[in-house]
Amino acid sequence: MKATENDVTPEEIFLNRREILGQFGLGLGMAATLGPLNAMATVAGNPAKLNPKFDPKDALRPLTSMELATKYNNFYEFSLEKDEVHKKVEKWKLGKWTLDIAGHINNKKTWDVEDLVKKLGVEERIYRFRCVEAWSMVVPWTGFPLQKLIALVEPTSKAKYIKFTSFNDRGIGTNMDSLLGYPWPYTEGLTLAEANHPLAMMVSGMYGKPLPKQNGAPLRLIVPWKYGFKSIKSVTKIEFVEERPIGLWEALAPKEYGFYANVNPQVDHPRWSQASERILDGSFFPKKVKTLMFNGYEQDVAHLYAGLDLTKNY
Ligand SMILES: Nc1nc2c(c(=O)[nH]1)N[C@H]1C(S)=C(S)[C@@H](COP(=O)(O)O)O[C@H]1N2
Ligand SMILES: [Mo]
């Protein structure tokens, strides 16, 4: 499918680059483009040639509707009910939002998120998005590669990991106090090498529009080869640290939610299988499909984990 002028919405006029790396990842060329929202996302190139064991049909999936992706959310600061989150965020007045970038870097600064997004520019990418709860979507995100931010702030040799922190404001997250024992705020972490991978991005929009509050406005992380809980929403602080950060979910249940949390069909969650997933389509029984290693981005990211035994959980 080729993008035509008709596909371009007003929000995209300021996009300086429009490329879709999602469905098959980086190795397969840049020809894929966003078509009508319910169309199959297609790519150029021949994945089977690059990886004989890989059936391209397994990775080719329809785009999730915007309606579904913005009304079925995990955002515990607001609600545990996925279909309640979009209602519970209504009272949140999203004004000026600052992002503190700190730690072992040369260019520490508290940014106005709008200025940062303007400075680094945005591009669009369609990625599969797979929750640890065994459901998935396919979402067109807009944002900038995290590696651009890393280059901007210039980490020193002491920086080994990046720690991300969400807001810690009960006036915003009206459900935070009801979750006793949760070590708020929501935090997550990546190794510097993971964060520097070109697929990792900071997202400020979806479906060509500004990011809705329920999806983590104004700026969130998206790491498409990892379970969704790694993709922290509404980030207020990014710290370059020496020690491996322990995220909220790892702190709560380390045997269930590890640090790496790479999508891996061979390693079951202690309470359910990860071998397959339901691709959400709004129906009562969405189609069940095999889960792909690294969520289908194996060729792009496997080298990051060269020393790890992928039959084990991390
Ligand atoms: N701050 C924060 N970030 C979060 C969560 C959360 O509860 N709070 N949930 C995570 C989980 S489990 C998933 S699956 C995704 C859901 O993102 P979506 O609602 O945009 O699909 O966000 C992740 N990021
Ligand atoms: Mo999730």
What confidence tier does 57 reach under pLDDT thresholds 50, 70, 90? confident
Q: What is the pLDDT of residue 60?
A: 85
Could you report the per-residue pLDDT of 77-113, keeping only the tens digit for each? Answer: 999 999 999 999 999 999 999 999 999 999 999 999 9
Single-letter amino acid, residue 238: I
Q: What is the pLDDT of residue 16?
A: 33
Q: Closest residue (by CA) to atom 16 of ligand 1?
A: 74
Mean pLDDT for the chain overall = 86
Cβ neighbourhood burial of 191 (10 Å; 0-12, 13-18, 19+): middle
Q: Closest residue (by CA) to atom 7 of ligand 1?
A: 75
Q: Are strands 98-103 and 161-166 parallel, antiparallel or unpaired?
A: unpaired
What confidence tier does 8 reach under pLDDT thresholds 50, 70, 90? very low
Q: Closest residue (by CA) to atom 14 of ligand 1?
A: 228
What confidence tier does 310 reach under pLDDT thresholds 50, 70, 90? confident
Q: What is the pLDDT of residue 40?
A: 40
Under 8 Å CB-to-CB from 117, ≥6 apart: which residues? 143, 144, 204, 219
What confidence tier does 24 reach under pLDDT thresholds 50, 70, 90? very low
What confidence tier does 54 reach under pLDDT thresholds 50, 70, 90? low
What confidence tier does 52 reach under pLDDT thresholds 50, 70, 90? low
Q: What is the pLDDT of residue 255?
A: 93
Q: What percent of the chain has pLDDT over 70?
A: 83
The structure's pTM equals: 0.87
Most informative mutation of 73, 75, 82, 295 for ligand 1 (most atoms within 8 A of CB): 75
Could you report the per-residue pLDDT of 289-300, keeping only the tens digit for each? Answer: 999 999 999 999
- Stronger pLDDT, 25 or 314, i.e. the higher one: 314
Could you report the per-residue pLDDT of 142-166, keeping only the tens digit for each? Answer: 999 999 999 999 999 999 999 999 9
What confidence tier does 53 reach under pLDDT thresholds 50, 70, 90? low
Q: What is the pLDDT of residue 31?
A: 31
Q: Closest residue (by CA) to atom 6 of ligand 1?
A: 75
* Contact status, residue 223 vs residue 194, Cβ threshold 8 Å: yes
Lowest mean per-residue pLDDT among 215-219, 245-249, 304-308: 304-308
Under 8 Å CB-to-CB from 146, ≥6 apart: which residues? 195, 196, 200, 201, 202, 221
Closest CA to 257 of 203, 183, 178: 183
Most informative mutation of 175, 231, 250 for ligand 1 (most atoms within 8 A of CB): 231
Closest CA to 137 of 66, 83, 216: 66
User: CB atoms < 10 A from the CB of 165, how many?
Assistant: 23
As a whole number, mean pLDDT of residues 34-60 equals 48
Closest CA to 234 of 145, 173, 155: 173
Q: What is the pLDDT of residue 9?
A: 34
Most informative mutation of 131, 204, 229, 256 for ligand 1 (most atoms within 8 A of CB): 229
Could you report the per-residue pLDDT of 178-220, keeping only the tens digit for each? Answer: 999 999 999 999 999 999 999 999 999 999 999 999 999 999 9
* Contact status, residue 242 vs residue 287, Cβ threshold 8 Å: no
Structure tokens at 128: 């599969």
Beta strands in the chain (DSSP E): 17-18, 98-103, 109-112, 123-130, 135-145, 161-166, 187-191, 201-206, 209-210, 220-222, 235-241, 276-279, 288-290
